[in-house]
Amino acid sequence: MDNKAVGKRVLEAVGGEKNVNSLVHCATRLRFKLKDEAVADTAKLKADPDVIQVVQSGGQYQVVIGSNVADVYKAILDDSGLGESPVDEGEKGNLLNQFIDVISGIFTPFLGAMAAAGVLKGFLSLAVVLGWLSDADGAYQILFAAADGIFTFLPILLAITAARKFKTNEFLAAGIAMALVYPAISAIAGAGTGLDFFGIPAILSPSGYTSSVIPIILAVWLQSKFEPLVKKMVPQFLQTILVPLIVLVVMVPVTFVAVGPLGTIAGDALGSLFNTVYGFSPLVAGLIMGGFWQVFVMFGMHWGFVPLMFLNLEQLGYDVLVPMLLPAVIAQGGAALAIALRTKNSKLRQLAFTSTITSFFGITEPTVYGVTLPLKKPFIVACVTGALGGAVVGMSGVKVFANGLVSLLSIPSFISTIDGVESNVMMAIIATAASFVLAFIGTFVIGFDDPKNPENTSNTQSHAAETNTRHILQSPLSGKIMPLADVKDPVFSSGAMGKGLAIEPEQGELIAPADGEITTIFPTGHAVGFTTTDGIEILMHIGMDTVELDGEGFTAHVKQGDQVKAGQSLVSFDLAKIKAAGYSIITPIVITNTNDFADVVDLDQEEIIQGEDFLTIVK
């Protein structure tokens, strides 16, 4: 996969950089906040072979890419003016959407590091239980510091990402967080001796604010409101020193005496609410979470549970929610494996095998969007078996003692690290394995509507050129012909846009290659989208990167929606001006709906005259 080409196509399809308020990514998907989602070409994205699915939920426009999403994300940032968190001026949506957007934006950037630390912590627990290491060993101490450090000083990481989300100073936010987890403060909290600020008491939990979530997020949000006010009051030549000074002097005490206690109380209430529900019926809680977890993930609602998981670990030292979710994740892999073994579609088989493996590591978006959900029945089977496994896990009292991605690698984290607190790891393994097997058997027995294999026509395709309907296009330009593979632009040379060829024009006029309609014409005049009366969709892109000329040297003679005849002039362009500006004049001509036809065949020409036959489309 050409990540740069994919990123370019995705950004173009969502309406371009000008339509993007913010962009982040998680394990498998690009999460856009768009100014206007109606501008985005969702159908085009869903048809893109490198896009698994598009989800519009929680105020986000989510493009599911797969495991290489980070590379596509980086390619988009490299080729655009987008930063990690551009100013968000878009519609806010309802309170639930805002909450989900804030939480996902704050936690997503360090999700990989957090998951890795959780897995490492779990394996260290397993190593101690099996006698491979002692908690007094130097190796254990160093590795445990690596695993536990992220969670101990979690408020600092949250402060940085929250500052990016709320558009405020990251270093001041980190400074507030460092004050919260300052060793002397944590020692006072642990000793229970109390703390006040000029007589105003600060409420501290026994562990202080290490590993806390809500207090620092609230504090940084308040900082984002306070800091601009300070800047307005302080003369510009003094802002470098006085603004940070005032923010720290005000915000740190306010956080300790007001924001922190408020966040702690809110967190305690949220944790108590969940534990009340769980205490009423762990079986029902597991049944619901196991059955609906993938639905929550699909709509981005799973982020709402993230603070709860952290709160449980902070307050209790363990969490009962994560273990309930493991059967739901692995069940999707079981359904995918059944699909891989039963389908006759080679492309689906390959994707299903790959998705089975990724689900073991907690990455289910490719599995759900690319395999089980489109086939419907396997997705339902996996949800049902995930619910049964979740119910067993909940009823068995399985707990997790370190946070991380829900995957098979999280099982060692189910081993209790707290004296007197039991965790039934064996039942977690049994329930998860049972969910996988039942999802596999259920999918294999119930079956699904197997999509046709596009490769079935490959052996007769050469024959098709002789027997199938043909549509011949006329050349829109005169000049030298070259294969698309030689075009110095990966979007065209990779064939990602479709089959076709390129022409190095000898004169500056582009004509219609057939009768049809102008479906797109760029304001700059450098590119024309055209659909023939036979349904052939053609993109003609005059030169490389000529969009940068902003229309100089281009004169369009048609507009979007115009009906034109073969040979009619579409665009005039100044070859000399384009060359003088340093741009290539090589013009790709691509059949963008290539997959709708049996083949696209060129006529093996080296030179072409405008109006001469140059491409044959075989239906």
- Burial of 519 from C-beta contacts in 10 A (0-12 / 13-18 / 19+): middle
Confirm whether 134 is domain-assigned.
no
Q: Are residues 258 and 286 in the same domain?
A: no
Q: Is the pLDDT of residue 535 over 60?
A: yes
Q: Which of 66, 74, 68, 94 is nearest to 24 (CA)?
A: 74
Confirm whether 112 is domain-assigned.
no
Identify the pLDDT of residue 433.
96
Check if the beta carbon of residue 318 is closer than 8 Å to that of residue 312.
yes
- Which range scores top for mean pLDDT: 64-73, 88-97, 508-517? 508-517
Residue ending a domain, choose from 246, 278, 310: 278
471 included as an active-site residue: no
Query: Into how many domains does the chain fold?
Result: 4
Identify the pLDDT of residue 263.
67
Average pLDDT taken over every residue of the chain: 83
When comparing pLDDT for 349 and 430, which is higher? 430
Query: At 257, which amino acid appears?
Result: V
Q: Are residues 418 and 294 in the same domain?
A: yes
The DSSP result for 433-458, as a single string, is: HHHHHHHHHHHHHH---PPP-GGGGG
**pLDDT tens digit sequence for 164-202:** 888 899 999 999 999 988 988 888 877 777 788 888 888
Residue ending a domain, choose from 227, 252, 278: 278
Per annotation, catalytic residue among 25, 302, 526, 541: 541
Confirm whether 123 is domain-assigned.
no
Residues across the chain: 619
CA–CA gap between residue 406 and residue 409 (Å, rounded) = 8
Q: Which of 409, 429, 443 is nearest to 337 (CA)?
A: 443
Query: At 486, which amino acid appears?
Result: D
Pairing of strands 587-591, 499-505: antiparallel
- Which domain, by its residues, includes 408? 281-446
Confirm whether 508 is domain-assigned.
yes
Residue ending a domain, choose from 50, 76, 91: 91
pLDDT-based confidence at residue 458 (cuts at 50, 70, 90): very low
Task: Please give the share of the chain, as a percent, with pLDDT higher than 70.
Answer: 87
541 included as an active-site residue: yes
Which long-range contacts does 86-89 make (Cβ < 8 Å, 24+ apart)? 86/20, 86/21, 86/22, 86/23, 87/21, 87/22, 87/167, 88/21, 88/22, 88/33, 88/167, 89/21, 89/35
Q: Are residues 599 and 518 in the same domain?
A: yes
pTM, two decimals, is: 0.50
Identify any residues that bridge with 516 across adjacent strands, giving them in sequence order.
Answer: 532, 564
Per annotation, catalytic residue among 25, 26, 383, 526: 26
For residue 520, what is the domain's CATH number?
A: 2.70.70.10
Q: Is the pLDDT of residue 616 over 90?
A: no
pLDDT-based confidence at residue 332 (cuts at 50, 70, 90): very high
Confirm whether 431 is domain-assigned.
yes
pLDDT-based confidence at residue 597 (cuts at 50, 70, 90): confident
**pLDDT tens digit sequence for 460-473:** 344 433 444 678 89
**pLDDT tens digit sequence for 390-448:** 999 999 999 998 876 788 888 988 999 888 899 999 999 999 999 999 999 999 999 98
Check if the beta carbon of residue 481 is closer than 8 Å to that of residue 606.
yes
Q: Are residues 241 and 337 in the same domain?
A: no
Confirm whether 129 is domain-assigned.
no
Q: Is the pLDDT of residue 89 over 60?
A: no
pLDDT-based confidence at residue 459 (cuts at 50, 70, 90): very low
Q: Are residues 256 and 297 in the same domain?
A: no
Q: Are residues 434 and 330 in the same domain?
A: yes
Q: Are residues 264 and 296 in the same domain?
A: no
Q: Is the pLDDT of residue 364 over 90?
A: no
pLDDT-based confidence at residue 308 (cuts at 50, 70, 90): confident
Task: Please give the share of the chain, as a percent, with pLDDT higher than 90.
Answer: 33
CA–CA gap between residue 379 and residue 180 (Å, rounded) = 45
For residue 49, what is the domain's CATH number?
A: 3.30.1360.60
Identify the pLDDT of residue 465.
37
Q: Are residues 441 and 315 in the same domain?
A: yes
**pLDDT tens digit sequence for 109-144:** 776 677 677 668 778 877 887 888 887 889 989 998
Identify the pLDDT of residue 486.
86
Q: Are residues 240 and 338 in the same domain?
A: no
DSSP 521: E
Q: Are residues 79 and 175 in the same domain?
A: no
Confirm whether 407 is domain-assigned.
yes
Q: Are residues 262 and 299 in the same domain?
A: no
Identify the pLDDT of residue 383.
94
Q: Which of 20-24, 369-373, 608-612 has the lowest mean pLDDT?
A: 369-373
Q: Are residues 163 and 49 in the same domain?
A: no
Confirm whether 139 is domain-assigned.
no
Check if the beta carbon of residue 474 is closer than 8 Å to that of residue 424.
no
